[in-house]
């Protein structure tokens, strides 16, 4: 058998850590999840315990009770430890499932890789997706209060960049800068798209009326859009502390 593509990295995880991921993914792909007779989703790199994988499975089954989730880990001991809790498979970015997944969640995995390996990992993973599927490459803090995600389509091209933060704890939107995906974190320097977006978010957050964090975020999101950023969705998403823009506006040159 071929060796899995990638390498073992730290396995840090935590219960509830990926709730912001799961909420965004369900929203992004709800139609596809519902319309598939038995949608397959892959949790790539579930870490030292499969808690977030089991949580994601429950979340997806609320949308489609026939949802199947497979956890893929490159560390054999972590696969063995997850047996009986989730369906766990030893493997890597090649995604060794017997059918094409609709969704691949790679949370806090690529951040531990060198930048020059990111695009090839995206292409390898997304080449396994079912038509209309999504790969989510993202990063968050230990508690899952600050998260940033890229939604990548089946061609391997990022389409959306999403920030999702817990508003109750937030001082300023650019706190998420420390949690940017690998493809953006090194580019967060004056003049880049991602730096300008975070600056615009901070500026409009600071200028927003102090009605409370939720109203402030909604105001910020609306103003950022009026200023020319391709912000998608509306209050329904913004009230959750989410903001999504077209990747092309933040993509590194
Ligand atoms: C920091 S943990 C993330 C755990 C969980 N996804 C979370 O966000 O809480 C990263 C895990 O990814 C695994 N990993 C790294 N590269 C991988 C690859 N190419 N294929 C599968 N698993 C991989 C590591 O072994 C590690 O257990």
Rounded Cα distance between 140 and 135, Å, is 16
CA 141–ligand 1 middle distance (angstroms) = 15
Percentage above 70 pLDDT, the chain: 100
Percent of the chain with pLDDT over 90: 98
Query: What dotted CATH number matches 19-166+232-247?
Result: 3.40.50.150
pLDDT at 247: 98
- Asked whether the predicted pLDDT for residue 1 surpasses 70, the reply is no
Read off the pLDDT of residues 200-219 as tens digits, 9 standing for 90 and up: 999 999 999 988 999 999 99
Q: Whose CA is nearest to atom 20 of ligand 1?
A: 92
Best residue among 14, 24, 45, 75 to mutate for probing ligand 1, ranked by most atoms within 8 Å of CB: 45
Task: Please report, to the nearest 10 degrees, the dihedral formed by the alpha carbons of residues 73, 150, 121, 89 taken in order.
Answer: 20
pTM over 0.75: yes
pLDDT single digits (tens) 139-186? 999 999 999 999 999 999 999 999 999 999 899 999 999 999 999 999
Q: Ligand 1 centre from 253 Cα, in Å? A: 28
CA distance 40 to 22: 15
pLDDT of residue 228: 97
Which of 74, 93, 137, 149, when mutated, tests ligand 1's pocket best, judged by the most ligand atoms within 8 Å of its CB? Answer: 74
The CA 44 to ligand 1 mean position distance, Å, reads 6
What mean pLDDT comes out for the span 221-244?
98
Mean of all residue pLDDT scores within the chain: 97
Between the CA of 248 and the centroid of ligand 1 the distance, in Å, is 27
Quote the ligand 1 centre to 19 CA distance (angstroms): 17
How is the chain split into domains, by residue range? 19-166+232-247
Residue 144, phi-psi category: left (phi > 0), alpha (psi -120 to 50), beta (remainder): left
Provide the 10 A C-beta neighbour count for residue 95.
23
Cα–Cα distance for residue pair 94/89, rounded to 1 Å: 12
Query: Mean of the pLDDT values across residues 73-100?
Result: 98
In Å, how far from its chain's centre is CA 164?
A: 9
């Amino acid at each position: 058998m071929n060796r899995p593509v990638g390498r073992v990295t730290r396995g840090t995880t935590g219960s509830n850590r990926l709730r912001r991921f799961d909420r965004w993914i369900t929203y992004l792909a709800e139609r596809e999840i519902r319309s598939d007779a038995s949608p397959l989703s892959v949790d790539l790199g579930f870490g030292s315990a499969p808690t977030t994988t089991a949580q994601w499975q429950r979340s997806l089954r609320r949308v489609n009770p026939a949802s199947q989730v497979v956890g893929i880990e490159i560390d054999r001991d972590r696969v063995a430890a997850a047996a009986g809790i989730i369906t766990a498979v030893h493997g890597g970015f090649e995604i060794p499932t017997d059918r094409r997944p609709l969704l691949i969640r790679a949370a806090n995995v690529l951040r531990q890789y060198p930048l020059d390996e990111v695009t090839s990992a995206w292409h390898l993973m997304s080449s396994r997706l079912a038509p209309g599927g999504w790969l989510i490459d993202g990063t968050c803090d230990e508690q899952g209060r600050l998260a940033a995600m890229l939604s990548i389509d089946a061609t391997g091209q990022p389409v959306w960049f999403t920030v999702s933060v817990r508003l109750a704890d937030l001082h300023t939107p650019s706190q998420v800068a420390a949690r940017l995906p690998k493809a953006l974190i090194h580019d967060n320097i004056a003049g880049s798209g991602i730096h300008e977006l975070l600056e615009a978010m901070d500026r409009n957050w600071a200028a927003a009326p102090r009605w409370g964090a939720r109203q402030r975020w909604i105001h910020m999101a609306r103003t950022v859009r009026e200023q020319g950023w391709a912000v998608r969705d509306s209050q329904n998403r913004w009230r959750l502390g989410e903001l999504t823009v077209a990747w092309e506006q933040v993509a590194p040159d």
